[in-house]
Each structure stands twice: as C-alpha cells, then as structure tokens.
Structure 1
Amino acid sequence: MAIYRGLDLMVGPTDSEHHGYFEAARQHKLVVQRCRGCGLLRGTIGAACPYCSALAWEWEQVSGKGVIYSYAIVAQAVHPAFRDAVPYPLVLVELDEQRAVPWRDGAEGELVSVRKIANLVRADDVTQPEDEKNVAIGMRVEVCFVDLDDDMALPQFRLTGEPPEHSPWRAD
C-alpha cells in the first residue's frame, strides 16, 4: 500500500484491469488498452471496449505526449488531503497516439482519441501543482511520474515547453 497526500492507495489483488497499468507506471511507462477486436486504443480502463464491446484487450505503451484538450482549476478541495494544494490544475490530455481517428467505417463526426485525466504538475518538481496562470488549452504536455514507494508511481502531466499546436486558450 502506498501513501499519497495522506491517502492510502492500493490496487486490490483481484483488480486485474488495473494491475498492468500500475505495474507499467512503476516502471515510468504509460500504457493504455488496445482492443483486440477493433484495434482502437482507449484511455479509460475497462473490461469491454467502448467502441465494439469486445472483451479482449492488451496493454500498449504510448509516448505520454499530448496536448491539453480541456482543464479545470480545482479551487475547493473535495477531500482534506488536497486542501493544501488548492488551487491546482486538473487536465484532460489528448495523447498524440490515435488523434481524431474515424470510427464506424469513417462515419462523419465520429472520431475517437485517447484522453487521460491527471494533475498538471511543475516540470521542476512533480510533487507540486503547476501554477494556474500557465495552464491553457492547446499547450503541449508529457507524462511524468510521482514515485510513492517502491511499488507504486502515479502518472501526472507536465508542460513540455514545446510550441502549442494552436493559439492557447484559457478561461480568465
């Protein structure tokens, strides 16, 4: 069992869907599930493919690079463990792998991407949240890992300093 901000974290022995994800994270690798039925990647861990409902899947390592698709600044902690971190940015990252891939035989408007939700942390100290004034939609990010103990690490994201893909947008 690992401790993060005073919270006990563990992957239960019967949680077969998450073991591979956290095993890879411990090795500082980001993995997502690839469906063996339709071949699409998915960012949310689950037993069945949300696209074709197939139950067969495998872990695939991804680059961990992407763009901030959306974000929120958490201003009120929903758990006391995060009280000292507010305000902190929570980002929805669209990974570079499988961006806007047509789904269902290329039907118009049905595109799939791989998106992950995580904290945005400082590049120079991954244990600290990024300053909210630096967060904007379109900014380039990469995965980084917060080592909790010898058995667990948490994937987070940090800004890369690369030029944004488009004019960054932020809610002010």
Structure 2
Amino acid sequence: MNFGPLTIVVYVALAALVLYRVVYKQLRGTMLSRKSLVTLPLVLTAIGVVTIVDALPKASTGELALLGADIAVLVVLGLGRSASTTLTRQGNTTFQKGSALTLVLWLATIGARVGFGFLGGYLGIDDSLTSASIMLTLGLSIGIQNALTYYRIEQRGLPLAEQSRPVRA
C-alpha cells in the first residue's frame, strides 16, 4: 500500500480515536445511551461515504470485490464483538463491559483491515478505494456492533439513559 504523509496522519488519528473511544471504553466498561451507540458509527460512516465518492467511480471490479469482502468480514467481527460483551443494568442505563474475547476480536478487526490492504497490494489491485474506505468500513463495523448491542438491550428490557442537554432557565 502506498501511504502519503496525510494518509498516515489520518490513520494514526483514527486509530487513537477508536482505541480510546471504543476499545478502551468497552474493555474498561461504559454506560450506554442511544447517543453513545449512534454518534461515532454515524460520523465515521458519513465521513467514509464522502471519502470514497472520488475513488468509487474509478474502482475496478477487483477493488469493489475486495471492499465487499472487507465489509462482510468486519460486519461479522462487529457482531462477535457485541456478543462478547456483558450488559448489566446500572441505575437508569445499561453498563457494557468487554471481555478478553472482545479484545481478541478488536485485534482481529484491525488485522483484517490491514490484511485486506496488503492482500489488495499482493493481488496488484489499486489501493485507492481500500485507503479511502477505512472510515466507512470501520463505521459500518462499529455500527453493526452497536445495532446488535441495542437489540440485546431491548430483548433484555434494559434501560438506556437519554443524553440530552440540560435546559437552562
């Protein structure tokens, strides 16, 4: 894969954001709200869609196939990550805590994403779509993870806190 300086900075910043906001918080445990389940995957997916707009029309069949396989694998890993967390009621919300398996699945997610990039290079597939789609694929993976988490919360009748701004008088 051919990374320019800006691409490397974006990847490092994204990795730091995901490691803290998602991985660290899941392993340490965090209170959940609708906002916390929706915001990050929505933002990452939206940025990802905007980012791939230029690369998509120029993408070869190989690039599109690689992107489809990448998304499929990351969606499955997202489902596994959700299933590997425990959900418990704490006050008026649900507390989510990851396990050792959650960490392994996050490492597999990172490995799969990097692996697809190298696979594309090995197969001689241009990496412009692979590079442009990182936020999209990560947003979709976290989004499917959070969708299953929300489904599990609903199935168990657990509450979710509403994170609204306080009304000023």
**Which TM bucket (shorter chain)?**
under 0.3
- State the TM-score, normalized to the length of structure 2: 0.24
Greater share of strand: 1
**With structure 1 as the length reference, what TM-score do the two structures score?**
0.24
